[in-house]
Structure 1
Amino acid sequence: MSTRVPRLEALRSEASRILETAIEQYQPAAVFALFSGGHDSLTCTHMAAEILGERLTGVAHIDTGIGIPETQQFVKDVCGHYKWPLQIYRASENTYANGTPNPQVYEEIILEHGFPGGPAHQFMYTRLKGRQVERLVRDYRGKRGNKVMLITGVRREESTRRMGTVREVNVVSGGQVWVAPMINVTSQDQHDYMAACELPRSPVKEKLCMSGECLCGAFAHRGELAEIAYWYPDVADRIHRLEQAVLAKHGRTNGWEGRDDDFKYNRQGFLPLCVGCEQRAELASVVAP
């Protein structure tokens, strides 16, 4: 590990430069680290908290309504341990800008449209995650024109063709400033950082190789539901029941691991909270026979 220390110090310095430059340029009304429960987002959140201290407004976690409960519990436990202020934004509690309830309930979406498949990933992202980010920004930006900085653990090494070019900073309409301080961190760097800082490892990530906060099924691969059933049978049972409900309503379904015809292709946009799913889907397409 000692030979890696200079590398980790250099990466921390780079992360500090990226964060400080973004803060100076955009003067955000609030700064949040996005923590999905996976190891990249944990590393990034820890790094941001160490660098920014009290300037980090808090940590945000998106409850999609179709995640593995142990993932969210891991997020709560870690934030409690490090005393990071945690805000959980639940899709089921979504509202319009005027405060009118507009809940995004996974089962209701699937019962209406069927299961999404990859082409509808943008649709599912917007409904389950994107609108919650918009709500977070509305809650903290204050007056119109202000910005909220959102820190993400996206890394250039793990980005895919679908994600396009990963940038240090992406400014999105609605006051969102997405910042990627770990842009040049490799998988080995990330592993070494967690070891050096003695960060806890997610049991869900260790078992399923994914954070588990969103099981929308857009990029589910054949056999994935069986893997989930082995470790988390209650979650798999919930999905199986939904498959039966879709079949009963529509008379047909390709299931959670497939794609139903009601979902049409929609162009992939900026999806900063779904890099892991995009990466797994691209790897699956490469190794598929």
Structure 2
Amino acid sequence: MGRRQVLMPMLPGMPDAVAGRPAKAHARPPLRTLEQAIARSRDIIAEALERYPIVARQALVSGGNDSSVLLHLVRDYLDSSPHDAVVHVNTGIGIDDTRQHVRDLTAAWNLPLRELHPRDSYEDLILGQVIARTGPNAGIRSVWKGFPGPGGHGVMYRRLKNEPLQRNRAAIIGTHGRSQKVLYLAGMRWGESDRRFRNAAEIDPDGGIIWCSPLVHWTNEQMRQYRELHLIPRNPVAEHLHMSGECLCGAYAKPGELDEIEFFYPRTAYRIRSLEKKVEAAGMPACKWGQAPPGGKQPKPGSVPGRLCSSCPAPLADQQMDLMDLWAQSGLLTPTTTPAPALVPVPIPEVAA
């Protein structure tokens, strides 16, 4: 049967004030048609498969709408070995609705799902309970204390996202990284918008992992066309928050972001506010989610430490508006009324009788 469109409420999200896009985003003229974009994507994947001894193909899905397009495009590549799968990193500090969206999507498309979890929890990290295992501080010092702020984004990325992906790679190829490779298909794009900073390569070798971004050259219009053509189900979390919400470490949170999360997902916000109380009770100065620790180091504007955190740009502080102020100026919030959400079409599969 076909699919129908229903209307889901949506409020405008907070735009990012960030510095530019990578120069290589402009290196190749934009492809003129969706068919050409799809053909180029398949050429990129074919090149990766020809150049490297790939023993497992895995599509990395965050739950965002870009990653859903990626999954639909590459789903036919995930049947060459028992290790082929859809991979979702459950950071443990995200919105549960996004996890469920990924589970529902993979089940509907009959694709195997591997849900990875970090060895160290976000709560343990911010409470200073994770002790360094290697290096000069091994067994002596905590790797982090308090909420991260921009200066701690690299730590959070390595512990919450990269570590489970590396462990997943090791479980497949062990120490045979020279003769065997895991292909990670990811949905990064060069030009998602003028306010997003994407730093990705078509094919990027990294030891036993080959990162492949087959959508890297796609424009927003091509993404829209593909979603409409194939009626790709949208994640309501991404529609509401304009991000997948799979990781809320808070390192690059915008002013008012926790209020926005609370508006749509109060249980998630309650958990974060509960963590704030625990961190404050532990006597740590960095006790506010989404705020830079006192005296904390600030990364360069636009820097993105981590391939899978391309939607975490460093904001330009003097240009970033508070979300609630934005809603108020748009007439969506008044002292006596609640926001009037816009209506956004979201494709929902028909259920067979």
The TM-score, its normalising length taken from structure 2, stands at 0.71
1:34 maps to which residue? 60
Three-state SS of the structure 2 residue aligned to 1:60 is strand
Deviation at 1:161, TM superposition (A): 11
Q: Which moved more, 1:70-79 or 1:164-173?
A: 164-173
Structure 2 CA distance, aligned partners of 1:194 and 1:43? 7
1:28 CA displacement = 0.8
1:271 equivalent to 2:306? Answer yes
Alignment partner of 1:195 is 2:220:
no
What's the secondary structure of 2:269's corresponding residue?
helix
- In the alignment, is the contact (CA less than 8 A) between 2:150 and 2:297 conserved in 1? no
Q: Which residue of 2 aligns with 1:250?
A: 283
Residue 84 of structure 1: how far off its partner (Å) = 1.0
Cα gap change, 1:160 to 1:187, in 2 (>3 Å)? closer
Q: Which residue matches 1:101?
A: none
Q: 2: distance between equivalents of 1:134 and 1:251? A: 31
Distance 1:190 1:249, change over 3 A: same
- Structure 1 gap ranges (5+): 1-5, 95-103
CA distance 1:48–1:191, shift in 2 (3 Å): same
The answer to whether the Cα contact below 8 Å between 2:98 and 2:237 also exists between their aligned partners in 1 is yes
The CA deviation at 1:277 is 1.7
Distance 1:124 1:288, change over 3 A: same
Q: Relative to structure 1, is the Cα distance of residues 143 and 108 closer, same or farther in structure 2, using a 3 angstrom cutoff?
A: closer
Contact 1:243–1:255 (8 Å) recurs in 2:
yes
* Alignment pair present for 1:116 and 2:125: no
Q: Retained in 2: the 8 A contact 1:62–1:89?
A: yes
Question: Of residues 103, 119, 126 in structure 2, which corresponds to 1:76?
Answer: 103
TM-score by length of 1: 0.86
Aligned counterparts of 2:291 and 2:164: Cα–Cα separation in 1: 26
Which of the residues 154, 157, 178 maps onto 2:191? 157
Structure 1 position 147 matched with structure 2 position 173: no
Output the CA distance in 2 between the equivalents of 1:55 and 1:121.
Answer: 35
Partner of 1:176: 209
Q: How far is the alpha carbon of 1:35 from its aligned partner? A: 0.3
Give the counterpart letter for 2:79 in structure 1. E
Cα 1:119/1:43, change in 2 over 3 Å: same
Task: Output aligned runs, 1:217-256, within 5 Å.
Answer: 217-250=250-283, 252-256=285-289
Separation in structure 2 between the aligned mates of residue 242 and residue 249 of structure 1, nearest angstrom:
11
Matched-pair contact (CA < 8 Å) for 2:58–2:184? yes
**Following TM superposition, by how much is the alpha carbon of 1:133 offset from its aligned partner in structure 2, in angstroms?**
0.6
Change in CA separation of 1:59 and 1:53 when aligned onto 2, cut-off 3 Å: closer
Gaps of 5+ in 2: 1-31, 129-144, 322-353
Tell whether the 8 Å contact from 2:92 to 2:117 is kept in structure 1 after alignment. yes
Q: 1:65 to 1:287 in 2, by over 3 A?
A: same
Return closer, same or farther for 1:251/1:133 CA change in 2, 3 Å cut-off: closer
Secondary structure of 2:71's aligned partner: helix
CA distance in 1, matches of 2:85, 2:260: 33
Residues 58, 262 of structure 1: alpha-carbon distance in 2 compared, 3 angstrom cutoff: farther
Match of 1:129 in 2: 161
Q: Percent identity?
A: 35
- Bigger drift between 39-48 and 199-208 goes to 39-48
- C-alpha distance in 1, partners of 2:191/2:55? 30
Partner secondary structure for residue 177 of structure 1: strand
* 2:319 aligned partner: 287
**Residues 1:161 and 1:126: Cα distance change in structure 2 (over 3 Å):** farther
1:78-116 deviation digits (Å, cap 9, x = unpaired): 00000111000011xx3xxxxxxxxx1111111121111
Instruction: Give the conservation status (yes or no) of the 8 Å contact 1:120–1:266.
Output: no
CA–CA separation in structure 2 for the residues paired with 1:171 and 1:270: 17
Q: 170, 181, 185: which is aligned to 2:218? A: 185
- Equivalent of 2:122 in 106, 116, 135: 106
Q: Is the 8 A contact 1:122 1:266 kept in 2?
A: no
Query: Which structure: greater helix fraction?
Result: 1
1:55 CA drift (Å):
3.0
Q: Is the 8 A contact 1:114 1:262 kept in 2?
A: no
Q: RMSD in angstroms over aligned alpha carbons?
A: 2.5
Quote the residue 2:46 is aligned against.
20
Aligned partners of 2:238 and 2:279: how far apart in 1? 29
| Contact 1:63-1:213 within 8 A present in 2 as well | yes
Question: Residue type of the partner of 2:241?
Answer: L
Q: C-alpha separation between the residues in 2 aligned to 1:286 and 1:264? A: 17
CA distance in 1: counterparts of 2:184 and 2:193, whole angstroms = 18
1-side partners of 2:196 and 2:158: how far apart? 16
